[in-house]
Chain A
């Protein structure tokens, strides 16, 4: 575990820069579909940053809920309202872009292999702080679950009411009125 801080720090910066670049590309895209997919990229980078900040459970939830569920609902609505331009959805980039993508993938793979095996200079390694120690002690889920089900039990239960209200509200607002109801 000695060499993890270098790995963590480097990847934190890397994914932070990726997140900001994808966010800038996201606000400048014309097509809503392209914008949504760039936002998914930002969310994935943020999930990686959460893991680097010793919050692996939040990172997993970020991928599952934000990148997996919320953005799929966004894309679903964009497609439902027929806002995406078909030419921009279906295109496959040319040879040059495929080579660049493959190169980026290989570079990131190599970076992970090198950094997990590297022995960093002892002066560069940071002291493991409270969050990292609690992750080591009680596991990624245990860190969150312990306080979620003791100190924050009431807010947790109220959340279920909120979700129920959101489900009912979304169905009621989005429901197509039938012809005889008018």
Chain B
């Protein structure tokens, strides 16, 4: 099942990349990043099946980091929304010269 797991993981990661590139809503882009993290986790679990539980430990840590990242990222999105009243990334260009 290793090859199939890698295939599924690659497809999910690609869908996440396409979502990041095509969507403009900041929250949806953020969810696409979470999908990409999940796709990589699937690879880790698939390899840990053959090479011992280290891969599962790494998935455990990556989930923790994802939870922290989601909390901070969503706080940033909320404060961005307070400033600009939108989460459309086309309208958030205050760094543009």
A-side interface residues toward B, CB under 8 Å?
Answer: 8-9, 12-13, 16, 19-20, 23-24, 26-27, 32, 35-36, 39, 42-43, 46, 49-50, 52-55, 57-58, 61-62, 65-66, 69-70, 73-74, 77-78, 80-81, 83, 129-132, 134, 143-144, 146-148, 152, 155, 159, 162-163, 165-167, 169-171, 173-174, 176
Contacts and interface: CB of A to CB of B under 8 A. Distances in A.
Nearest to A47: B38
Contact of A163 (B45, B68, B75): B68
A20 B15 contact: yes
Prevailing SS type, chain A contact patch: helix
Nearest to A24: B15
Contact of A73 (B59, B74, B87): B74
B5 interface: yes
Given A16-B8, A66-B38, A83-B27, A58 B78 contact: no
Given A8-B1, A159-B64, 9 more contacts: A16-B4, A42-B35, A50-B42, A65-B67, A73-B70, A130-B51, A147-B53, A166-B72, A174-B79
Contact of A174 (B30, B61, B78): B78
B11 interface: yes
Nearest to A70: B70
Contact of B49 (A57, A70, A131): A131
B88 to A, nearest CB: 10
Contacts of B70: 70, 73-74
Interface centre among B1, B16, B49 (most CB of A within 10 A): B1
B22 A27 contact: yes
Contact of A19 (B12, B46, B49): B12
A46 B1 contact: no
A161 B58 CA distance: 17
Contacts of A66: 34, 38, 63, 66
